[in-house]
Amino acid sequence: MGNTNIHTSGLNDTPSANRIHIAFFGRTNAGKSSLVNAVTGQNLALVSDTKGTTTDPVYKAMELLPLGPVLIIDTPGIDDESALGEMRMGRTKQVLNKTDVAVLVLSGEYPPKGAPFAEEKELAGILKAKNIPYIVVQNKCDLPDAEIKNIASMNFCGEVLKNVLPVSAKTGRNIDLLKEKIAALYQSAFPAEKEKPSLVAGLVHPGDFALLVTPIDKAAPKGRLILPQQQTIRDILDTGACAIVVKESGLRETLASLGKEPSIVITDSIVFAEVSNEVPLHIPLTSFSILFARNKGFLQAAVNGIKTLETIQNADKILICEGCTHHRQCDDIGKVKLPNLIKGYTGKEPDFSFSSGRDFPEDLHGYKLIIHCGACMLNDREMEFRRLSAQRQGIPFTNYGISIACVRGILSRSIAMFNFNDSAIT
Q: Give the pLDDT of residue 7.
A: 35
Angle, CA 375 vertex, CA 278 and CA 40 arms, to 5°: 135
Q: Which DSSP helix (H) or strand (E) runs through 292?
A: helix 288-296
**CB-based contacts of 199: which residues, under 8 Å, 6+ apart?**
231, 232, 235, 291, 292, 294, 295
Class of domain 298-418: alpha beta
Give the gyration radius of the chain's Cα atoms: 24
What's the predicted TM-score (pTM) here? 0.80
Q: Give the C-alpha separation, 248 to 168, whole Å.
A: 57
Q: Give the pLDDT of residue 419.
A: 80
Determine the topology of domain 209-290 in CATH.
Rossmann fold (3.40.50)
Asked if residue 151 lies in contact with residue 161, where contact means CB atoms within 8 angstroms, the answer is: yes
Which amino acid would we find at residue 23?
Answer: A
Sign of the alpha-carbon dihedral angle for 215, 219, 223, 227: negative
Going from the first residue of the chain to its last (426 residues), give the mean pLDDT of each consecutive group of 10, the final group possibly shorter. Answer: 37 74 89 89 53 67 86 85 59 87 81 64 87 89 60 53 77 91 89 75 96 78 78 95 95 93 96 96 97 92 96 97 66 87 97 89 94 89 92 96 96 91 44
* Cis before 66 (ω within 30): yes
Q: What are phi and psi of 266, to 5 degrees?
A: -120, 125
Given this chain, do its domains 209-290 and 298-418 carry the same CATH topology?
yes
Asked if residue 263 lies in contact with residue 279, where contact means CB atoms within 8 angstroms, the answer is: no
Q: Give the C-alpha separation, 51 to 109, whole Å.
A: 14
CA 202 → CA 199, 205, 391, distances in Å? Answer: 9, 7, 28
Q: Give the pLDDT of residue 8.
A: 35
CATH architecture for the domain at 11-189: 3-Layer(aba) Sandwich (3.40)
Q: Give the C-alpha separation, 46 to 29, whole Å.
A: 12
Domain boundaries defined on the chain = 11-189, 209-290, 298-418
Q: Give the C-alpha separation, 296 to 142, whole Å.
A: 44
Asked if residue 78 lies in contact with residue 107, where contact means CB atoms within 8 angstroms, the answer is: no
Beta partners for 244?
211
Three-state DSSP at 375 gives coil
Q: Which DSSP helix (H) or strand (E) runs through 137?
A: strand 134-139
Asked if residue 45 lies in contact with residue 118, where contact means CB atoms within 8 angstroms, the answer is: no
Q: Give the C-alpha separation, 142 to 50, whole Å.
A: 20
Q: Give the C-alpha separation, 185 to 188, whole Å.
A: 5
Asked if residue 15 lies in contact with residue 376, where contact means CB atoms within 8 angstroms, the answer is: yes
Angle, CA 263 vertex, CA 259 and CA 269 arms, to 5°: 110
